[in-house]
């Protein structure tokens, strides 16, 4: 038994150290970095400042497909003169208002700081500024030598002005980016609809939606005595089937601490005042999908206007991704967990009510994953059909992403048996539901997490289903279905032991802050 606790201690130590290394600077990925010395109202810096402590973590976790690292010295006059040129290019790719987000992460390392001496030596920095190009993963624990000709990290030899740097990038990528590109005038926006490969970008939006949803719950103080069980059920579902490993871990940690964070007697008169006062309470110390989320931007769900798509799109992707991951025996539990979560915690009143009406119209329990997946897909299309009419009459839709019946034929030709017009002019589609189910399972299943698998962030199959221990914890008011228990029984032993260890400590210590 002592050896088990030694393993657990090592695991906890590893998680703590990896969390702290990621948190330093990783929140600034693809968002503007404030310049602390900027007191004259100039534009903020868009390039992400890296150092030895966060270099590998930031580049490992970025959703961008390419990265540029500038090595400079803050005392160097040439570097100061070059900075405006570098920032002109960085604003296209970095920041919440980036024109072309998620493509290139532009960063910089100050070699004049002693902390970065080893890092600059790793890349054989011989002059300032010096720029390197490569896949982000290749920079992690990597380096560069002057004699290597065809390495996976390349020195940029012609980037002394913004124009020349962008021309160099365009040659490498076969692109046609320009310094005068305007926000939303980028070619990948419309491809979200027709290009199935774009769904891999949505895994970051699923994390963003999950984190945003819980921020809303805490900000609006929505955890009440009559909503507590609904939140527990959704956490149980997320621990077992959320596509993001980070969100599964965060959900599990909140669930393990739930009795301490939201005890059953907290709703007594003398305790409710402290819970509903200013601030988010003890639950606010937990970042459900990690310290760097929410990031403040959307990728797959990015609209062409600030007030379109975003959270609602990300939430739909999250619900669909949960639906295709459950087992047959969990289908009705997943249905009630999602319906109750939207009914109790979605703050758009009209949307919440419409969704609740669709849930209430279901006459019997779901016994198959297929049935629940197709019901949620049909419900989403009903919502889209209603919003299509409203947005067309009011002009409130996204001009680049009008609501459609989904999936479009170009994404899934085999899903369509026939299409015709009704007498009232509306479109009627005869679906091949077997093909629709196969498409949904692949689109929101394997394809969605393919980028995570490439980065090694998904975890193994056992961890995917988490542990029955997490579903049994803090569930006095909730019954766990047999299907869920059976599915989770195959989970990893180490993960289960870790859960038990955490749980056993709850009576002897205060809830700890997650993701330091």
Residues classed as catalytic? 76, 79
Using the structure block, give the residue that is written with the tokens 């973590």. 57
CB-based burial, 264-297: b 16+ in 10 Å, e otherwise: eebeeeeeeeebeeeeebbbeebbbbbbbbbbeb
Could you write out the three-class secondary structure of 296-339?
CCCCCCECCCCCCECHHHHHHHHHHHHHCCCCHHHHHHHHHHHH
Helix (H) / strand (E) element for 454: namely helix 450-455
Give kind and range of the element (H or E) at residue 422.
none
What is the SS3 assignment for 14?
helix
The answer to whether the CB of 323 falls within 8 A of the CB of 376 is yes
Q: What is the C-alpha separation between 372 and 365, in angstroms, rounded?
A: 10
Would you tell me how many other CB atoms lie within 10 Å of the CB of residue 109?
23
Could you tell me which residues come within 8 angstroms of residue 64 by beta carbon, excluding any fewer than 6 positions away?
A: 29, 30, 93, 102, 103, 104, 105, 136
240, HSE (Cβ side, Cα atoms, 13 Å): 32
Q: What is the 3-state secondary structure (H, E, C) of 352-398?
A: HHHHHHHHHCCCCCCCCHHHHHHHHHHHHHHHHHHHHHHHHHHCCCC
Question: Mapping DSSP to helix (H, G, I), strand (E, B) and coil, where does residue 81 land?
Answer: helix
Helix, strand, coil shares of the chain, percent, nearest 5, are 55, 10, 40
CA 388 to chain centre: 27
């Amino acid at each position: 038994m002592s050896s088990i606790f030694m393993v657990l201690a090592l695991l906890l130590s590893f998680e703590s150290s990896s969390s702290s290394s990621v948190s330093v600077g990783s929140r600034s990925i693809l968002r503007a970095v404030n310049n602390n010395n900027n007191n004259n109202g100039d534009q903020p810096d868009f390039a992400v400042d890296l150092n030895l402590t966060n270099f590998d973590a930031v580049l490992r976790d970025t959703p961008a497909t390419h990265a540029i690292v500038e090595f400079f010295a803050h005392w160097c006059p040439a570097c100061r003169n070059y900075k405006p040129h570098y920032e002109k290019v960085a604003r296209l790719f970095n920041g919440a208002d980036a024109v072309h987000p998620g493509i290139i992460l532009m960063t910089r390392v100050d070699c004049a700081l002693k902390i970065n001496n080893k890092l600059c030596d790793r890349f054989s920095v011989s002059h300032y500024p010096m720029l390197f190009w490569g896949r982000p993963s290749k920079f992690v624990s990597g380096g560069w030598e002057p004699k290597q000709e065809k390495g996976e990290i390349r020195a940029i030899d012609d980037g002394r002005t913004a124009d020349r740097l962008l021309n160099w990038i365009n040659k490498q990528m076969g692109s046609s980016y320009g310094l005068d590109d305007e926000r939303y005038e980028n070619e990948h926006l419309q491809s979200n609809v027709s290009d199935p490969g774009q769904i891999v970008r949505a895994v970051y939006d699923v994390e963003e939606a999950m984190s945003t949803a819980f921020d809303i719950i805490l900000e609006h103080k929505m955890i009440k005595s009559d909503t507590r069980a609904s939140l527990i059920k959704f956490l149980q579902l997320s621990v077992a089937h959320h596509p993001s490993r980070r969100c599964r871990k965060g959900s599990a940690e909140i669930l393990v601490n739930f009795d301490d964070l939201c005890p059953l007697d907290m709703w007594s008169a003398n305790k409710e005042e402290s819970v509903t006062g200013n601030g988010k309470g003890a639950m606010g110390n937990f970042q459900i999908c990690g310290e760097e989320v929410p990031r403040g931007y959307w990728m797959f769900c990015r609209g062409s206007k600030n007030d379109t798509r975003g959270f609602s799109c990300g939430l739909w992707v999250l619900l669909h991704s949960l639906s295709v991951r459950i087992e047959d025996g969990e289908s009705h539990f997943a249905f009630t967990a999602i319906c109750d979560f939207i009914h109790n915690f979605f703050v758009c009143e009209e949307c919440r009510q419409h969704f609740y009406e669709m849930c209430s119209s279901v006459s019997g329990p779901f016994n198959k994953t297929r049935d629940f997946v197709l019901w949620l897909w049909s419900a989403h299309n009903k919502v889209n059909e209603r919003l299509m009419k409203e947005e067309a009459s009011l002009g409130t839709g996204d001009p680049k992403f009008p609501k459609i019946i989904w999936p479009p034929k170009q994404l899934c030709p085999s899903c369509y048996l026939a299409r015709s017009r009704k007498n009232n002019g509306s479109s009627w589609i005869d679906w091949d539901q077997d093909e629709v189910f196969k498409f949904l399972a692949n689109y929101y299943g394997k394809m969605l997490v393919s980028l995570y698998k490439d980065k090694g962030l998904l975890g193994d199959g056992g961890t995917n289903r988490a542990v029955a221990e997490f579903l049994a914890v803090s569930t006095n008011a909730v019954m766990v279905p047999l299907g869920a228990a059976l599915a989770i029984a195959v989970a990893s032993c180490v993960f289960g032991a870790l859960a038990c260890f955490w749980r056993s400590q709850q009576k002897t210590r205060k809830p700890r802050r997650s993701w330091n």
